[in-house]
Structure 1
Amino acid sequence: MHVETLLLLVLGAVALIVAVRWVADRTGLPAAALLTLTGIAYAYLPGPNVVLDPELVLTLVLPPLLYSAALDSSLTAIRRNLRTVVSLSVLLVTATALLIGVGFALFVAGATLAAGIALGAAVAPPDPVAALAVGRRVGLPPRLVTLIQGEGLLNDATALTILSVAVTAARGDGFSTPAALGQFLVVAAGGVAVGVFVAHAVRPLRRIRRDPLSSNAISLATPFVAYLLAETVHVSGVLAVVVAGLVIGHNNPSWASGASRLQTEAVWRLVAFLLEGVVFLLIGQQLPAVISGLGQYDTGTVVTAASITVGVVLLLRPLWLWLTEHLPQSLHTRLGGEDVAGQDGDPRTVLQRLTGGEIAVLSWAGTRGVISLAAIFTLPLTTETGAPFPDRDLLLFCAFLAVLVTLVGQGLTFAPLVRALGLRADEADQARLRNEARAASVEAGLRRLDELAAEQHDHVDDDAIEAIRSQLQGRLDRYRRRLDVLQGAEGGEVPMSPQYEAALRVRRAVLTAQREELLHWRDVGRLPDEGLRRLERELDHEEGRLPARG
């Protein structure tokens, strides 16, 4: 492919991603589903097409996407819901792979158990990108967001490990169940160990180079280092990336400077935006190649194989969630448990079962994505004897169909389902908690200021201390007034008083006037551009602390 053609494809992809995201924002439709449909439409147009390279996806696309999601996740919340996350990301993935494998062996003529399990492993792990994007927009409760997030971070490692074991059996390289189980445990434990090692190895580097650019460069390299190191020692690269991201994200407040965090967050948001867009476009473009290999199968075989795959993907998940919710209390998986203090001061755990509506939402959040396609495309063309890999083209079609049905079908209907069930986060309660935390942090600052004043160092200026105290006290008074308003909030909505909205308009108007004056100074030659950019950055940070416009 010529460089000019490649550049045109890249520019065209970026244009489509931006255009589709604009349509999604205006219509409320999920961008992932729209991009996939756009990719299908493009695939049937004349001109160059892009064929999915599984090694490229697994090595260059998957690590940064997983790392970005892990940085944005909560290690504390995932740890609190670990048993539920493990149930979905390990046990459910394994059950899905085995059930599809058994279904293929029993009902698809000529299919082998190993080939069916390979397909099941590929389609078992949900890709939560589409569901989370919609869920956050419609205000999905934090507990459900945590479960979807945690499952999506850990299930890929399970699926890819099962896939490798199934492919080994299908190729005739020799297979034993104890050896396969041992391999799974070693690969998983090794991936966790590598992830923890990389996370803590990054810490001294970020302390040596605390400037934002160096810190950002280290951050961009981290997922690839974790993945390559893990793959080099033959353990789970996916799990290593996820664990490294969770540990670093959890410790970022103390490991990185404020300027570094601001820039790193912005860069990773851009990386995820572009990579996710390219991934969903790429999914749609694989349809012609997948369909072209079905000519050797009769219609009944294709329908049976597709029905087993899609049926297990759609039906097993809600059944699994329902069964785990109705286990005896002694065996019940802790779902959304929250640590609170008992009357005697000892911590205890409040166990909350999922409601029927929450089970429905979690079931419908199981959209499959590019990992399923990348995994199934890694199937070898031949076995050890040189014979074609059993039913490879049929497996590719079934995997693509599962991805298309869930990504488009569930993706387009996820938001209406959440709204119909009335599952929304209590925004007023979350705003109340944030304001309480803000007030507590300001009170801590005031206490520290009193300590500095009491120390009476010669270099401590009393006027400076009083100015800082007045500023902090003003913030504290504002937070307390806001808390008084939030205490009386009803229906979970955040109340916006006319005085508060008017104050926001005044602050934005003042910032606009400041920017205009700085631009005037630059235009008349009194302020160099370098000075303008520095002062603009100060105003940008101040504006960033204001609530988003409605």
Structure 2
Amino acid sequence: MDVESVLVFVLAAVGVIAVVRWVAGRTGLPAAALLPIVGIGYTLLPGPDIVLEPDIILTLVLPPLLYSAALDSSMLAIRRNVRTVVSLSVVLVLLTALLIGLGFAWWVPGATLAAGVAVGAAVAPPDPVAALAVGRRVGLPPRIITVIQGEGLLNDATALTILSVAVAAASGDTFSATSALGQFVIDATGGAAVGALVALVVRLLSRPLSADPMLANAVSLATPFVAYLLGERAHVSGVLAVVVAGLIVGHHTPRSTSGAGRLQTSAVWRLVDFLLEGLVFLLIGQQLPEVIGGLGGYDTGTVVVAVGVTVGTVLLLRPLWLLLTLVLPGALQTRRRGGGMDGERPARWTAREVVVLSWAGTRGVISLAAIFTLPLVTETGARFPARDLLLFCTFVVVLVTLVGQGLTFAPIVRMLGLRADDNDQARLRNEARSASVEAALVALDDLEEQEHDDIGAPVIETMRQQLRARLNRYQQRLVLLRENDDSADPPISPLYEAALHVRRVALDAQRDELLRWRDAGRLPDEGLRVLERELDHEERLLPGRPTRR
């Protein structure tokens, strides 16, 4: 494709992504599940199809998506659930790859154990984009969101390492389980070390750059690529380096960056996520001609068996593993303790939570990118065993999980009635707000004691009155929340919502007046932008959904 054709395709893709995002917002369906369907529809139209280039996905697309997800994750929350996260992102990925490999070796003619492990490694890591989009919209409990996030961050490194070992074994290299495990440990440890080093450098640069949000943004955008390239050059896991760097930087960002820098960086990463995620999910559907074109050499029975082994293992092993590792151990511990105290919520995972986690295992573009890295010919000169069949099996798994599970995830969550306690979260936020205002009042008292003139006293007193008024609002809100403790939904305060409405009307009136000044030639556009930015920051402080505040 020439430059003009590429530009036309990119513009068309952005238009399609925007339309699908609009439809998803109106219907409640995840855009990640709708875009592959649109991509398949595009392949039926005349015109060129875009073939997925795995090197581009793994080098240019995966690092920023993982880094952005890591920035939004909680390192402390992942640490609290580290056993579950590691169980899903490492052990379950290993089991999935091994069982699919054994299934291919036993039941699929022409396939080897190494080839089966390769496709198993490709389809093992879930892509949580669709599940998280739905989960946040329907209000899943924070613990489930944390586990889905943590699993999605770490499982790619496990899967890609297993894939490289399987490809080496299929190419005729000497395979040893001990050496493979040792290489995995080296890759993981080295990747984590590289990520920590990159995060340290970013933290050192953050303070001197915090005064210039543009420079802080440039460093933030470059960080995932630096971490990935350093990891790959050091022959360790570049993916894990990106994840570790993102977790550490995200954890220390509140202390090391300015408010303006955080606002701008957050907006930039939201746009990057929107475009990259939309593009890769659109590309998934366009791979249909490529994966179907190579099936001519296989009989229908072989294709059905291979697809059955792959899809069946992916769909059945995850809930079984969650049942064995989360539900049964907790139930046995409860029995040994003779039950919990009355009114005490058990810490163990419930059956409803396990069902939701099971259905959150949607696969995505990483699976396709990984399987497309399989060589056409091994180092011995032979064709890679059943490569076209492996591509097709991976594509089917992605479609079944991404579209099937993605479109049904929200109804299942609603049917189970599993959602976060909004009243409890709102109470916690207001308690934190009150504590922060009380800390500010103490700081003002200390400042007033240090002032030896009367100039700053009126300013301090004005600020103190504003803070006390704010603290009074928070405390009144806390009283309502505590009185409504039996309900999961925060109480609706007519006075609070009326205040929000009045503030929005006032902001709109201010903007209209500024525009009249600009149109009349009394205010230059540069001055308008400065004043509009001030109003925009005030409006950003207003909650989007008042009932959750």
**TM-score scaled to structure 1, two decimals?**
0.95
CA distance in 1, matches of 2:172, 2:165: 11
Change in 2 beyond 3 A, CA 1:373/1:520: same
Distance apart, 1:326 and its partner CA: 4.4
Distance 1:175 1:141 in 2: 43
Residue pair 2:127, 2:362 contacting (<8 A) in 1 also: yes
**2:78 equivalent to 1:83:** no
Distance in structure 2 (CA, Å) of the matches to 1:192 and 1:537: 40
Alignment pair present for 1:302 and 2:297: no
1:192-229 CA distance string (max 9 Å, x none): 00000000111222222221000000000000000000
Residue matched to 1:343: none
Query: What is the CA RMSD across the aligned residues, in angstroms?
Result: 1.5
Aligned to 1:482: 477
Q: Deviations over 1:359-413 (max 9, x none)?
A: 0000000000000000000001111221110000000000000000000000010
Deviations 1:96-146 (A, max 9, x none): 000000011111112100100000000000000000001101111111000
Letter in 2 for 1:435: N
Correspondences of 1:152-301 after superposition (within 5 Å): 152-210=152-210, 211-301=212-302
Would the aligned equivalents of 2:98 and 2:120 in 1 still touch at CA under 8 Å? yes
Report the equivalent of 1:405: 400
Q: What residue identity is the alignment partner of 2:306?
A: A
User: Which has the larger displacement, 504-513 or 314-323?
Assistant: 504-513
Q: How much does 1:331 deviate?
A: 10
- For residues 495 and 516 of structure 1, do their structure 2 counterparts lie closer, same or farther at Cα, with a shift above 3 Å needed? same
1:507 and 2:508 matched: no
1:523 aligns with 2:519: yes
Deviation at 1:29, TM superposition (A): 1.2
**Equivalent residue number for residue 61 of structure 1:** 61
Matches for 1:71-110 after TM superposition, within 5 Å: 71-110=71-110
Partner of 2:369: 374
Superposition map of 1:119-158 within 5 A: 119-158=119-158
- Work out the CA distance in 1 between the residues paired with 2:231 and 2:54: 18
SS in 1 for 2:294: helix
Q: Confirm or deny that 1:532 pairs with 2:532.
A: no
Counterpart residue identity of residue 31, structure 2: A
The amino acid that maps onto 1:194 is V
Q: How does 1:414-493 map to 2 (within 5 A)?
A: 414-458=409-453, 461-489=456-484, 490-493=486-489
Counterpart code for 2:465: S
**Distance (whole Å) between structure 2 residues aligned to residue 326 and residue 67 of structure 1:** 32
1:545 Cα deviation (Å)?
0.8
Distance 2:452 2:120 in 1: 69
Structure 2 SS opposite 1:111: coil
- Residues 1:356 and 1:453: Cα distance change in structure 2 (over 3 Å): same
1:494-535 alpha-carbon deviations (Å, 9 max, x no partner): 222211111111111111111112222222222221121111
Measured in 1, the distance between the counterparts of 2:306 and 2:531 equals 63
Task: State the partner residue of 1:319.
Answer: 320
SS at match of 1:21: helix
Moved more, 482-491 or 415-424: 482-491
List aligned pairs for 1:334-373, cutoff 5 A: 352-373=347-368
2:466 is matched by which residue type in structure 1? Q
Q: Determine the C-alpha separation between the residues in 2 that align with 1:408 and 1:172.
A: 37
SS at match of 2:64: helix
Gaps of 5+ in 2: 334-344
Alignment partners' CA distance in 1, 2:68 and 2:195: 14
Shift of 1:35: 0.5
Match of 2:52, as an amino acid? L
**Cα distance change, pair 154–531 in 1 and its aligned pair in 2 (3 A):** same
**What displacement does 1:300 show?**
0.6
Please name the residue that 1:544 is paired with: 540
One-letter amino acid of the structure 2 residue matched with residue 313 of structure 1: V
- 2:522 is paired with a residue of what secondary structure? coil
On the 8 A contact 1:126/1:366 being kept in 2, the answer is: yes
Q: Give, in angstroms, the shift of residue 457 of structure 1.
A: 3.4
In 2, Cα distance between equivalents of 1:327 and 1:409: 28
Q: Aligned partners of 1:176, 1:478: CA distance in 2, in Å?
A: 66
Using the TM superposition, name which of 388-397 and 528-537 deviates more. Answer: 528-537
Residue 526 of structure 2 aligns to which amino acid in structure 1?
A: E
**Alpha-carbon spacing, 1:203–1:325, altered in 2? closer, same or farther (3 Å):** closer
Q: Which residue of 2 aligns with 1:346?
A: none
Check conservation: 1:44, 1:288, Cα contact below 8 A: no
Which amino acid is the alignment partner of residue 530 of structure 2?
R
Equivalent residue pairs, number = 534
**Distance in 1 (alpha carbons) for counterparts of 2:83 and 2:332:** 11
| CA drift at 1:329 | 6.0
Distance 1:461 1:523 in 2: 40
**For 1:40 and 1:261, how far apart are their aligned partners in 2?**
38
Which residue does 1:24 correspond to in 2?
Answer: 24
- The letter for the 2-side match of 1:53 is E
CA contact (8 A) 2:331 2:348 kept: no
Q: State the Cα deviation string for residues 45-84 of structure 1 (Å, max 9, x = none).
A: 1012110000000000000000000000000000110011
Aligned to 2:337: none
Unaligned runs of 5+ in 1: 333-349
- Letter of the aligned partner of 2:270 in structure 1? R
Task: Name the counterpart of 1:341.
Answer: none
Q: Which residue of 2 aligns with 1:337?
A: none
Identity %: 71
User: How far apart in 2 are the matches of 1:73 and 1:143?
Assistant: 12
